[in-house]
Amino acid sequence: MVFSPTENEQSLKGKMPRLTDSQITALFREPRTMRKFEDRSVSDDQLRQIQELTYLGPTAFNSQPLRITWIKSIEARERLVKHLIESNREKALQAPINAILSYDRLWMERADVFNPRATESIKGYYTTENRVLSAAQQNANLQAGYFMIATRALGLDVGPLGADFDGLYEEFFSGTDEHPILVVNIGYGIPTKYPRDTRFGYDEVTRSL
């Protein structure tokens, strides 16, 4: 997918919000974490669009260490829910799609593809197992955030879930270098009756130096 701004968009760049206020509301203020979903399927094309948008978000050296496993079949879903706490099982079972998000510990092996100009710098910097691993985790977690916002931008809802990630590793990724970090239920959500919990305000969480 290639994005080329129109002349009009170029001239407005930096002067206007990218989205209208109502679009910002639709993307940020309105969507809630969903724990129930309508009986309505999500297409492969939608999953493809989620992936494409997610991978446009920034990562260190463009490393993109996130890997996505779509859980579509009933059999795979049964294997997934074994590694969720009891209170999360039903939430995962009735979502049309679950995504297991993982990081790839061997992300550097594709440096010639994701950053051909900096391949040598990457190899020169990520010289210890600790650096390689923390970059994989940090950047995949960032991408997990982009993933949820991209999914919402496309009109779908998300329900992120914690899991027994060691158990999930053994179940789906045993012997590989992919390590799961998050489960995300995806579909058309049925809103909760509970109001949103408090979000911190500007003065509580920012400082200016």
Ligand X SMILES: Cc1cc2nc3c(=O)[nH]c(=O)nc-3n(C[C@H](O)[C@H](O)[C@H](O)COP(=O)(O)O)c2cc1C
Q: Which residues make up the interface to ligand X (CB under 6 A)?
A: 32-33, 35, 88, 160-162, 182, 196-197
By beta-carbon distance, which residue lies closest to ligand X? Answer: 33
User: Cβ of residue 124: shortest distance to ligand X, in angstroms?
Assistant: 33
Q: What is the number of other CB atoms lying within 10 angstroms of the CB of residue 19? A: 13
Q: End-to-end alpha-carbon separation of the chain, Å?
A: 40
**Which residue number, 85 or 106, has a Cβ lying nearer to ligand X?**
85
Of the pair 31, 65, the CB lying nearest ligand X is at: 31
With respect to ligand X, which residue has the nearer C-beta, 73 or 87?
Answer: 87
Which residue number, 108 or 181, has a Cβ lying nearer to ligand X? 181
Task: Kindly write down the DSSP assignment for every residue of 54-116, as one continuous string.
Answer: HTTS--GGG---EEEEEE-SHHHHHHHHTTS-HHHHHHHHTSSEEEEEEEETTGGGGHHHH-G
Name which of 15 and 193 has its Cβ closer to ligand X.
193
Q: Are 180 and 173 in contact (CB under 8 A)?
A: yes
In one-letter notation, the amino acid at residue 168 is L
Compute the least distance from the CB of residue 144 to ligand X, in Å: 8
Q: How far is the CB of 157 from ligand X (least distance, A)?
A: 10
Cβ of residue 184: shortest distance to ligand X, in angstroms? 9
Strand, helix or coil at 133?
Answer: helix
**Smallest separation (angstroms) from ligand X to the CB of 198:** 10
How far is it, in rounded angstroms, from Cα 61 to Cα 119?
9
5 alpha carbon, distance to own chain's centre:
25
Cβ–Cβ < 8 Å for 164, 83: yes
